Amino acid sequence: HCGYKSNKRIIFIGHMKKHQKKIERVRTRKGETPPKTSEINRNTKSKAQKICPVCGVKIGQKSMLSRHMHIHTGKKPHKCQHCDYRTYRADHFKRHLTKHAGLLECYECNFKTAYRSTLINHFKAHRGEQKYCCDYCDFKTHWRASLISHEKRKHTEIEYHKCDKCDYNTSKFHLYVSHLNLCKGEDGWKCEKCNYKTSQRTLLILHMKNHEDDFKHRCQECDYKSKFHSHLMRHVRARHLGEKPLQCYHCTYRCSDRTHLIRHVRRHSGVKPFRCKQCPYRARSTNNLKRHIQTHTGEKPFGCSTCDFRTADRRTITNHIFRRHMG
């Protein structure tokens, strides 16, 4: 309608309504039905959207598209003059500069920080309950690290209880007693199933889990066992109940195993993802590829028990037995 441009969608829509009023007046004179304002807004929105040429994401404003493109180009135009920090986000850059500018200070103590949120949390510590208390004086603090630092600086005469079997030491007698009940020193806690040993009982408990029977979920109908209960239930439904919940979208094939379905679908798509490194041969499954590789190595692991015939393919030896010795 005109040469007007704007990077603000709301302002642009307001401008377009001026043209809409003119169009309505002209169409009313001609007896035509003017379009609804919602249609104008919808058309304006679709024209205002920008599309990333790399990933195809839709972005509302041109300025945001420019910032988005830095993700693909790797450019970081905002560089700090005080350190090596770089970024493509202007808001992140401004926030970083506060580290080099004047720090925010607590009016109750000497605490300083570059972030307002951190200062607010610090103020809460002044107002809130001081839950860490010193056992040797009236000092209280909101942070455990501050209490430890206080004890080391102010109470140098504190007696630390050191374990004579390991390097553990503490100023708390009850913690010291608890440690003695668990510590076995250099001899340590020994694993009964291997040579592992440790000075801490909790570490031994964690280690013993490595010796637990991984295949603890066992089928009551056969010898099948699994690490996971979900795998056991899938086995029971497929083998003993005959359920086949997975179906091919191209034909009537059904199965109970996802890997079998994937291998079947490759027959329809023609995809052969497994490639031989020695020739152009490609296979739909790893088993087919292994059988093919044996043609290069000359291996023939399958032998006939009746004669000297050997082959690299299990199906070939089965056919041989039926044709030669059972036909």
Q: If you search the block for the tokens 């209280």, which residue do you land on? A: 140
pTM higher than 0.75, yes or no? no
Domain residue ranges in the chain: 217-325
Judged against a pLDDT cut of 70, whether residue 199 lies above it is answered with no
Task: For residue 176, give the H/E element and its range.
Answer: helix 173-182
Which CATH number is 217-325 given? 3.30.160.60
Task: Tell me if 132 sits within 8 A of 143, measured CB to CB.
Answer: yes
pLDDT tens digits for 31-86?
A: 555 555 455 455 544 445 677 766 666 776 666 777 777 666 767 778 877 677 88
For 221, 224, 258, the CA distances from 236, given in Å and listed in that order, are 8, 9, 15
pLDDT tens digits for 247-273?
A: 888 888 888 887 788 888 888 878 788
Distance CA 327, CA 321 (A): 8
